[in-house]
Amino acid sequence: MTTAGDDMLRSDSLLQGTRSETLKMPGQQLLTPVRAMVECSESLLSEVAESDDDELRDDVAKLHDAAHELLSLTVELFHEASAAASDHSTSDLNALHSRIRHDVGNVLNQILGYSEMLLEDAADRISTVVTADLKWLHASGKQMAVLIDRLGKKKTSGSDADLPAVASGPDVKLAPSETGKILVVEDNAANRELLARRLTSEGHTVVTAEDGRVGLRELAAQDFDLVLLDIVMPQVNGLQVLERLKADERLRDIPVIMISALDEVASAVRCIAIGAEDYLSKPFDPVLLRARIGACLEKKRLRDREKMHLSQIEAERRRSDELLHVILPNEIVEELRTTNRVEPRRHEAVAVMFADIVGFTHYCDTHAPEDVVDDLQRLVESWEEIALRCEVQKIKTIGDAFMAAAGLLKPLQNPVLNCARCALEMIEVGGQLTPHWPIRVGIHLGPVVAGVLGRRQYLYDLWGDTVNTAARIQSRAAAGSVALSEDSWRALADLAQGESLGTVELKGKGRIEITRLLSIKTDL
């Protein structure tokens, strides 16, 4: 893309002839990187155009204005540098160097200041794309500032060999060694070869395609970091390739730079609207092309890194969810995810059951630790499966005791019946496993308070008289039996057979009647 300033510079060069002194003037040395900085500021302005952050848009607009001012100033300085070289005026060149340091330095200061401020103070308000452009612009400004500082110290009678060239293209990129795998889709064989050779010499891996169809086949077969795509091609043109690429879930994030002999605003707008990263007209400026490629590759790396991080975050989230579902009931996990806390609640008519292994302490004393844990693990896993099938919620294990509840998080017609069925199956499984575990179970019905305590290694737990009573009733049950309190047996009396064990004294409760469950009616 050419500018009026470029035309003026070409005209002046022709008027001044081909003298090498003219081509080495500071204005011309600065022009190429300044044009790249203007392009970067244009990109920044576009990126934040839809932002609702007024301060961010205002600051980027100031950066954009400063970059354009720098371009106008550079064009003006080139004219003066050409005149001074033509007149062999050392004093004029010295004055010009001073003005460069003053005027250009002031504008560069704005660019560096705003870019630094945005990177430091607005880091949480800008996207990774804007961050990359700001870093690129800041690095370019710093490099240009070094050149300007040395211009003032350079002797006009000396050569330019000791003057550092302003870095442009790949030298200005955030990562100078950054290269990528690039697909060049161009129907003109000479242009295709020339572009491939230039990119290969800069360290890129290049694959070429002579038309849109071949380009699409290559995109389907290989992974690319960037596509350079000609617009006018036979059969499938560049715009059609771009549309198909951006419609493909796997390919849509690959940046595309359109290259065409069409120097029309409408073509550029259409390409950008479809999803192209950039648009260059042929014959293109190779330095500007390098800068555009560098920026696209850097953005691609940032996007890939962002995708990887998001994927890692999602994987960690899934692992966290899985762990939470292991520790907490599903309903509690959903509440915790939604509100970041679990509201403590009182639940009425909850059946609480405790199951305990008779003689477990002696078993632990006479067996190896790994055997104890393995045997207990098999038993508890079986109990968990039974509880799930009977719609009983496991609360926790306490040593060799298993605590569970029914009617807590899910309404049930008769929670005591669910616990009773669960208890009989648990006792049966205990007798089938090796070793044969003698199990006793206690069940009580009443209100409980439920919630989550702590921030580390927390669990969903129950509190209240109902929990304590169920635990004490379990201690009064015989091995291989289920004992129920008066309240719980009352809910089960018409559905099961049992025998009274008489009244017993329970701490905090006084004397209550306990019933042993014999069986549950099979027609239920």
Count of CB atoms within 10 A of residue 89's CB? 14
Q: How much is the average pLDDT of 408-418?
A: 94
Q: What's the token pair of residue 514?
A: 């306990």
* Amino acid code (one letter) for 451: G
- Above 70 in pLDDT, residue 7? no
Count of CB atoms within 10 A of residue 334's CB? 13
The distance of Cα 42 from the centroid of its chain, to the nearest Å, equals: 27
Of 366, 482, 373, the closest CA to residue 420 belongs to: 482
Residue 283, preceding peptide bond in cis (omega within 30° of 0) = yes
Of 476, 469, 477, the closest CA to residue 508 belongs to: 469
514 in helix, strand or coil? strand
Handedness of CA 45, 47, 50, 53 (dihedral sign): negative
* Amino acid code (one letter) for 394: K
This prediction's pTM:
0.47
* Amino acid code (one letter) for 192: R
Phi, psi of 467 (to 5 degrees): -65, -45
User: Tokens 């002797």 belong to which residue?
Assistant: 155
Plot region of 349 (φ>0 → left; ψ -120 to 50 → alpha; else → beta): left
Q: How much is the average pLDDT of 404-433?
A: 95
Burial class (CB in 10 A: 0-12, 13-18, 19+), 505: exposed
Of 430, 306, 424, 321, the closest CA to residue 379 belongs to: 430
Where is average pLDDT lowest: 73-77, 255-259, 297-301? Answer: 73-77
Pairing of strands 226-230, 181-185: parallel
492 in helix, strand or coil? coil
DSSP single-letter state for residue 282:
S
Position 383 scores a pLDDT of 97
- Read off the pLDDT of residues 41-70 as tens digits, 9 standing for 90 and up: 888 888 888 888 888 888 888 889 888 988
β partners of residue 517 = 482, 498
Count of CB atoms within 10 A of residue 64's CB? 21
Residue 234, preceding peptide bond in cis (omega within 30° of 0) = no
Q: How many residues does the chain have?
A: 524
Handedness of CA 10, 16, 20, 21 (dihedral sign): negative
Do residues 36 and 173 lie in contact, with contact meaning Cβ atoms separated by under 8 Å?
no
Position 137 scores a pLDDT of 86
Which of the given ranges, 22-26, 257-261, 481-485, has the highest pLDDT on average? 481-485
Do residues 245 and 232 lie in contact, with contact meaning Cβ atoms separated by under 8 Å?
no
On average, the pLDDT of the chain sits at: 81
Count of CB atoms within 10 A of residue 156's CB? 15
- Read off the pLDDT of residues 211-234 as tens digits, 9 standing for 90 and up: 999 999 999 999 999 999 988 888
Where is average pLDDT lowest: 17-31, 77-91, 130-144, 310-324? Answer: 17-31
- Read off the pLDDT of residues 102-114 as tens digits, 9 standing for 90 and up: 567 667 767 877 7
- Read off the pLDDT of residues 465-474 as tens digits, 9 standing for 90 and up: 999 999 999 9
CA distance 320 to 485: 39
- Cβ-Cβ contacts under 8 Å for 280 (sequence gap 6 or more): 1, 257, 258, 259, 260, 288, 289, 292
Position 150 scores a pLDDT of 66
CA distance 326 to 339: 19
